[in-house]
Structure 1
Amino acid sequence: MRVATLNVAVIGLGLIGGSVLRALAVHGHRVSGYDADPATRATARTAAAQAPKDARWHVTGSIADAVRDADLAIVAVPLPAVGTVFDELASLGYVGVVTDVTSVKGPVRDLAADRLRTGGQALATFIGGHPMAGRETSGFTAADPRLFNGCAWVLCLGEDGAHLRDWVDLAALVTGLGARVVPATADEHDAATAAISHVPHLVAAAVAALISSDPLAGTLGAGSFRDGTRVAASRPELTAAMCGGNAPAVGRALDAVLADLAAARAALDGSDPIGALTPWLTPGHTARVNWPPEPGESADLPARADVLLRLGRVGGWIESVSDDRKTVRAVRPA
């Protein structure tokens, strides 16, 4: 996969898949896209015809056509459909590199180990991925090639450093799209995203539902309601797949949030609720005003699994990869 211009197949052309497709085309890669929905394929074909000639993509009528000459296949379908796509890639004998953009990594890792094989032998190399970018809108019409500019994009890496060469190549591709690559194991990713993405979706849905029985509250809703419930506008089936697919980690994170909220609830029943709530609110206030982390020192690090995983664990990221793929330009938070 170590070439400047890649042949890439994107399977699934929703918001994230469509944005990946468009971003790759803008950056000069040869891209084929496929979506199971004929209407989505038609929309993507029309958009391709209207795109600048040097940033067009090709939409195929099957997964087989999309991956025929692909060095890399990017699976951008909801979690319940991932296994079916992996089965088809295996039946086609696809032996390139496969990555995904699913918001849960452990279950996808396990599906890849089970499905991307034939006759007991592994076929494609799988590297789990998750761009931390999105909107409450969905579908190809919402796709934006600039969606990943500056975003954190997790690429999963095992402690054993398996497939490190392909991992570094994929990191070079992703940073070339303007994203920051964050190395992490699948389990580390799932624990972190349960806290900062999946549980917030559940909390937002619960708060948003309050206005359904209170028209006055709906009329009075302003900034705090809008900002706190934005992700509740996401399609319920997508949020359910995301949270349900990461159920153990989401359960632990949700238990922690519920315990904190129970403490706030108890404070309201005390003799001095204002005085009791102030220290309860302070840790969250401090964390939020110091987010996002400011970039600190940067350094060239060797492209070794242990070094890369340590970088991710301290909240660092990769902003570029050297041409010889032996080092990465890494940034630690200030």
Structure 2
Amino acid sequence: MPAPPVSVVGLGQLGGSLAAALAAAGRPVSGWDVDPAARDAAEDAGVAIRRELTGVVVLAVPLPAMATALDGLRIDPGATVTDLGSVKAPVLAELGAAHGDRYVGGHPMCGTERSGHTAVDPTLFAGARWALCLEADTDLRRWLRVAEIALAVGAEVVPVTAAEHDDAVAAISAVPHLLAAAVAAAAGQAGPLALSLAAGSFRDATRVIGSDPAFVTALVTGNAGPAATALDRVRAQLERPWPELVADGHAVRVADAGRRTVRVPLDRAALLALGRAGGAVTRRLAAFVEGWVPDRP
């Protein structure tokens, strides 16, 4: 069966990179963006520019624009709709209500502090985890269509629910953005001498807050409950004796569990168990998927 076409709405860093990667792989891909410069750049990368959306429709727009991203565009009634948003439960409530079981929530865990069509990189997804929501009413066939797109651009698919995604991403994305902002603001208060001495540690600890403030604000406020809970855990860690905190943090950061290859049936419970174990899907087989889980002693 031929791979379905892909239509990408929003041709900035994520959407443009996805469209360019698919075009380079020979997949039929079209796209649309309200910015003429983004459309021109995508067309130069081999993406067909049009308003008619078919196959798998990918919404690669900022969170506040999700609800209106398809306004003025023509979408095939049978198309599968997915998104690349960094928060899932609110988007699921909105897009799920509009598209029913045609909607599959997604979030590739990649990107840089840069944004827009000038930051497009067709290799952006290579080796990245791509969280793909598998709810109780998700159509597994449509889930697999989106999963195959992620695999086609080199990503590894992590099956999750929207709630599980938001809890996890609060800890590893929202909190780091907030801490980076806090470290940068505190260093600014320390004065020009401190900033003049800043080197690698400061650069690495504050890199992500170089992102567009509107993006970071949407990321943390759109996931406010889980982010607040995750931030409370960080505050509790800072109250521990510093030598213990440093040792435990170091152990987590340098741990390398290795990987064990597994095959998982195309079943919701089995796929979610793979994601909850910290594993990912790397290949689609006939009635199974192949992937890996951490190989801990």
TM-score class, shorter-chain normalisation, is: over 0.9
Structure 2: 5+ residue stretches without partners: none
- 1:182 match: secondary structure: strand
Structure 2 residue 88 is matched with structure 1 residue 105: yes
CA distance in 2, matches of 1:157, 1:304: 10
CA distance in 2, matches of 1:309, 1:93: 30
- The one-character-per-residue Cα deviations of 1:43-73 (angstroms, maximum 9, x if unpaired) are 433xx1xx4xxxx11223xxxx241xx1110
Shift of 1:5: 3.4
User: Which position in structure 2 is the counterpart of 1:267?
Assistant: none
Structure 2 residue 130 is matched with structure 1 residue 169: no
User: Which position in structure 2 is the counterpart of 1:203?
Assistant: 179
Q: Which amino acid counterpart does residue 186 of structure 2 have in structure 1?
A: L
User: Which position in structure 2 is the counterpart of 1:300?
Assistant: 263
User: Which position in structure 2 is the counterpart of 1:333?
Assistant: 294
- The one-character-per-residue Cα deviations of 1:13-67 (angstroms, maximum 9, x if unpaired) are 111111111111111111111112233223433xx1xx4xxxx11223xxxx241
Shift of 1:87: 5.7
CA distance in 1, matches of 2:14, 2:187: 30
The residue correspondences of 1:72-87 to structure 2 (distance < 5 A) are 72-85=56-69
Identity %: 43
Q: 1:31 to 1:184 in 2, by over 3 A?
A: same
Q: Does the CA-based 8 Å contact 2:66-2:91 persist in structure 1? A: yes
Shift of 1:311: 0.5
Q: 1:113 to 1:136 in 2, by over 3 A?
A: same
- 1:174 match: secondary structure: helix
User: Which position in structure 1 is the counterpart of 2:276?
Assistant: 313
CA distance in 2, matches of 1:25, 1:186: 29
The residue correspondences of 1:1-334 to structure 2 (distance < 5 A) are 3-45=1-43, 48=44, 51=45, 56-60=46-50, 65-67=51-53, 70-85=54-69, 94-116=77-99, 122=100, 125-158=102-135, 160=136, 162-213=138-189, 214-261=191-238, 263-264=239-240, 276-290=241-255, 293-295=257-259, 297-322=260-285, 324=286, 326-334=287-295
The number of residues matched between the two structures is 294
Shift of 1:304: 0.5
CA distance in 2, matches of 1:66, 1:201: 36
TM-score, with structure 1 as normaliser: 0.83
- The one-character-per-residue Cα deviations of 1:109-142 (angstroms, maximum 9, x if unpaired) are 00012233xxxxx4x7000000000101111111
Structure 1 moving runs of 4+ over 3 Å: 42-45, 86-89, 91-94
Q: 1:194 to 1:88 in 2, by over 3 A?
A: farther
Q: Does the CA-based 8 Å contact 1:86-1:115 persist in structure 2? A: no
Query: 106-115 or 303-312: which moved more?
Result: 106-115
Q: CA RMSD in A?
A: 1.8
Asked which structure has the greater CA Rg, the reply is 1
- The one-character-per-residue Cα deviations of 1:220-255 (angstroms, maximum 9, x if unpaired) are 111111111110100000000111111111111112
- The one-character-per-residue Cα deviations of 1:280-300 (angstroms, maximum 9, x if unpaired) are 222211100116x532x2122
Q: Does the CA-based 8 Å contact 1:14-1:140 persist in structure 2? A: yes
- 1:155 match: secondary structure: strand
Structure 1: 5+ residue stretches without partners: 117-121, 265-275
CA distance in 1, matches of 2:122, 2:248: 36
Q: Which amino acid counterpart does residue 78 of structure 1 have in structure 2?
A: P
- 2:69 match: secondary structure: helix
Q: 1:156 to 1:88 in 2, by over 3 A?
A: farther
Shift of 1:169: 2.5
Q: Which amino acid counterpart does residue 192 of structure 1 have in structure 2?
A: A
Shift of 1:161: 5.6
- 1:318 match: secondary structure: strand
Q: 1:34 to 1:321 in 2, by over 3 A?
A: same
CA distance in 1, matches of 2:72, 2:252: 44
- The one-character-per-residue Cα deviations of 1:54-100 (angstroms, maximum 9, x if unpaired) are xx11223xxxx241xx11100000110001125666x8563310010
